[in-house]
Amino acid sequence: MKEVRLERIMEILKRQGYATTDEIADELGISKITVRRDLSFLESQGLISRKRGGALLRSFHHDIPFFMKLERRKSQKIRVAKKALEVLENGNVVFVSGGTTVYYIIQEISHSKLSDLTIITNSITTAWAVINAQKPISLVHTGGSVREGSFECIGAQVMSFVERVRADVFLLGVNGIDVEKGITFDSYEEGLIARKMIENSSKVVVVSDSSKLGIVSPYKVSDIDEVDYIVVDESERARRMKKVIENMGVSVLLA
């Protein structure tokens, strides 16, 4: 139950940025004493900042360090990574964003039968995963200025590079997936690059754990119906949204 509570609290803070103890207690139907105890634990893990009467999601102003996020919901992300391989074919040229779920996809490619892939990315962490793969994978990095926290490269150099490339598939890690508000990012600069990759890809595949469903981050990258697939771990929320999203012409693969 504690794990579920902590996850729900993080979802509230992702949605709102800040929430009071009373708001969290009312939404989850738990005591304020329990909320305070859970907030103390989340603060000890560096995920939130306690404020008088409530809490602030630290990533609302600063990125949570990548490798801390890598361990959160790890089993769900690995399931999504395995499922995402179904949309890839031998010889594909693949745009790949940054993100922890994407990191696990590269690891799964490393252990799969897929061959002759070319990975094009603006992410330092994605490139690192390719470099450490257990089989040869062609890697092209865009260069650019590294954004602290996410380790994604941004700037005019990246945009100029991406504009001249056409990919078979774009594996896109995201910050938010909402039926009405679409696919959203926390970073405006990263969103611009992702937008151009969408435009220059034959097939767009959003990969995410289900905690991102219903979340709206500040910067919109695309509408839901501009992507071809959404790969997400199976959960009650994912099952509810699957039918709605598929009615919009987007395939939802549950892992």
Fold of 2-60: Arc Repressor Mutant, subunit A (1.10.10)
Q: Residue 1: is its pLDDT beyond 60?
A: yes
> The CATH number of 68-254 is which of 3.40.50.1360, 3.40.470.10, 3.40.50.1820, 3.90.79.10?
3.40.50.1360
Cα separations in angstroms, 148 against 97, 124, 154, 190, 234: 15, 11, 11, 12, 31
pLDDT in tens, 230-243: 999 999 999 999 99
What is the rounded CA–CA span in Å between residue 118 and residue 96?
A: 10
Q: What is the pLDDT of residue 61?
A: 43
Cα separations in angstroms, 202 against 114, 147, 227, 248: 19, 27, 10, 18
Work out the mean pLDDT of the chain and round it to a whole number: 91
Q: What band does 59 get if pLDDT is binned at 50, 70 and 90?
A: low
Mean pLDDT over 203-229 rounds to 96
Q: What is the pLDDT of residue 63?
A: 47
Q: Residue 169: is its pLDDT beyond 70?
A: yes
* Helix extents (H) in the chain: 2-16, 21-28, 32-44, 66-69, 74-84, 100-111, 124-131, 156-163, 188-199, 236-246
Q: Residue 64: is its pLDDT beyond 70?
A: no
Mean pLDDT over 54-70 rounds to 66
Instruction: Report the predicted TM-score, pTM, of the whole model to 2 decimal places.
Output: 0.75
Domain ranges of the chain: 2-60, 68-254
Q: What is the pLDDT of residue 115?
A: 96
